């Protein structure tokens, strides 16, 4: 693991395949353009590091959406009625 950037092995990762962490938030929210979405989905099939980051983000977004549907956010100082921010969905599956 000399010279690695995180010490996490990415089994089968093609050489020159850049990590996609900067795109993961938008991917979880479903707001990427099609070619970026395809790039992220392809990358997640072989990169353990990005997949772990994605799964954490997807879990958090799913919990947030579930709470919004249940009205758990209520009306706060920001004026949210619980409906905003309930979008987003998991696009990649194991």
pLDDT per position as a tens digit, 45-64: 999 999 999 999 998 888 88
- The pLDDT value given to residue 80: 45
CB–CB of 53/16 below 8 Å? Answer: no
Residues present in the chain in total: 94
Backbone φ/ψ region at 58: left (φ over 0), alpha (ψ -120 to 50), beta? alpha
pTM: 0.57
Tokens matching residue 64: 């947030």
């Amino acid at each position: 693991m000399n010279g690695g950037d995180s010490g996490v092995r990415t089994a089968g990762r093609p050489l020159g395949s850049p990590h996609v962490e900067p795109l993961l938030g938008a991917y979880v929210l479903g707001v990427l353009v099609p070619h970026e979405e395809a790039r992220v989905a392809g990358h997640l099939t072989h990169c353990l590091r990005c997949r772990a980051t994605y799964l954490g983000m997807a879990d958090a977004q799913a919990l947030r959406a579930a709470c919004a549907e249940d009205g758990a956010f209520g009306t706060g100082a920001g004026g949210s009625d619980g409906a905003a921010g309930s979008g987003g969905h998991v696009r990649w599956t194991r």
